């Protein structure tokens, strides 16, 4: 905890003064352009990866960057998505997975989660991803971690489309969905390309957009 406390002190003395005007503006409201859904993994820092400032991203994090399909049972992700899309009016939603994801390893080996019942139930939202990989490659184990990680991003985007606020904005062209996978070791970000029907380097995908 000591380094956290020192970090707060440094922020207040060294960082805040240089950005005082921006923080004072943010104190009266927010207007983010992007809802960024990613994993709770401590190695992932959305603002660092995207080089964005406070107020630019509305961030939702959980184990496995999961978006439960819409239901009448309210949950934190459902409420946050609805608020970001319907109230804040974000124009983009990014679902960002990452390499070496412990949640994806758990989804591939649910039998290993017997002592983590809530984690096991939560990762049931990844079952479509593991089943797709199993159908494509004949097996779904840790040797297919990359494929499951990528497929999970695509499946969570499909889940997003079941949320009424998201479906409505997509129908009017006011919202775009993006699938990313961040590679921790190299810093590379691969993005889903409809044209290529696969993930490709960001600069290639968005150059074509």
Q: What is the mean pLDDT of residues 16-38?
A: 96
Do 74 and 105 fall within a single domain? yes
> Quick check: 208 pLDDT over 90?
no
Same domain flag for 100 and 146: yes
Question: Looking at residue 99, what is its pLDDT?
Answer: 98
For position 103, what pLDDT does the model report? 97
Which tokens sit at 71?
A: 């239901």
- Written as six digits, the tokens of 84 are 């970001």
Question: Which residue range is the domain that position 2 belongs to?
Answer: 1-30
Tokens 């820092």 found at: 45
CB count within 10 Å of CB 45 equals 11
pLDDT of residue 83: 98
The alpha-helical segments, DSSP class H, found in 94-144 are 102-108, 117-122, 127-137
Q: Domain check: are 22 and 117 in the same one?
A: no
Give 86's DSSP letter.
I
Do 42 and 2 belong together in one domain? no
Find out whether 125 is annotated in a ligand binding site.
no
| 81 φψ region: left (φ > 0), alpha (ψ -120 to 50), beta (else) | alpha
101 among annotated binding-site residues: yes
What is the three-class DSSP state of 72? coil
- Overall average pLDDT of the 82-88 stretch: 98
Please report the pLDDT score of residue 209 as a whole number: 52
Residues in contact with 63: Cβ distance below 8 Å, sequence separation at least 6, in sequence order: 39, 40, 102, 103, 119, 122, 123
What pLDDT score does 207 carry? Answer: 79
Rounded to whole angstroms, the Cα distance separating 145 from 133 reads: 10
Give SS3 for 60: strand
pLDDT at 14 over 90: yes
Mean pLDDT of the chain, nearest integer: 96
Clarify whether residues 26 and 43 are in a common domain.
no
pLDDT digits (tens, 9 = 90+) for 42-71: 999 999 999 999 999 999 999 999 999 999
39 and 8 within one domain: no
Q: Are residues 54 and 25 in the same domain?
A: no
Q: How many domains does the chain have?
A: 2
70 among annotated binding-site residues: no
Give 195-199 contacts, CB < 8 A, sequence gap 24+. 199/150
The CATH number linked to 160 is 3.40.1050.10
For residue 145, the surrounding DSSP H or E stretch is: helix 145-160
pLDDT in tens, 118-161: 999 999 999 999 999 999 999 999 999 999 999 999 999 999 99
Q: Are residues 91 and 192 in the same domain?
A: yes
Using alpha carbons only, give the angle 107, 146, 156 rounded to the nearest 5 degrees: 55
pLDDT, tens digit (0-9, with 9 covering 90-100), for 96-111: 999 999 999 999 999 9
Q: Is residue 126 annotated as involved in ligand binding?
A: no
Whether 15 and 75 map to the same domain: the answer is no
Task: Provide the pLDDT for residue 74.
Answer: 85
Q: How far apart are CA 176 and CA 186, in angstroms?
A: 27
């Amino acid at each position: 905890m000591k380094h956290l406390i020192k970090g707060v002190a440094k922020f207040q003395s060294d960082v805040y003064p240089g950005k005082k005007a921006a923080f004072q503006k943010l104190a009266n409201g927010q207007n983010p352009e992007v809802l960024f859904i990613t994993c709770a993994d401590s190695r992932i820092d959305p603002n660092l990866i995207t080089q964005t400032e406070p107020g630019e991203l509305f961030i939702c994090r959980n184990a496995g960057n999961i978006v439960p399909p819409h239901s009448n049972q309210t949950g934190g992700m459902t409420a946050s998505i609805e608020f970001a899309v319907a109230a804040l009016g974000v124009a983009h939603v990014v679902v960002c997975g990452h390499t070496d994801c412990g949640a994806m390893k758990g989804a591939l080996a649910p039998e290993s989660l017997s002592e983590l019942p809530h984690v096991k139930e939560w990762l049931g939202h990844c079952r479509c991803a593991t089943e797709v990989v199993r159908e494509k490659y004949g097996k779904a184990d840790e040797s297919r971690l990359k494929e499951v990680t990528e497929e999970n991003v695509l499946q969570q985007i499909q889940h997003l489309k079941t949320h009424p606020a998201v479906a409505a904005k997509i129908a009017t062209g006011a919202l775009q969905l993006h699938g990313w996978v961040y590679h921790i070791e190299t810093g590379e970000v691969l993005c889903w390309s409809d044209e290529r029907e696969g993930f490709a380097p960001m600069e290639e995908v968005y150059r074509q957009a």
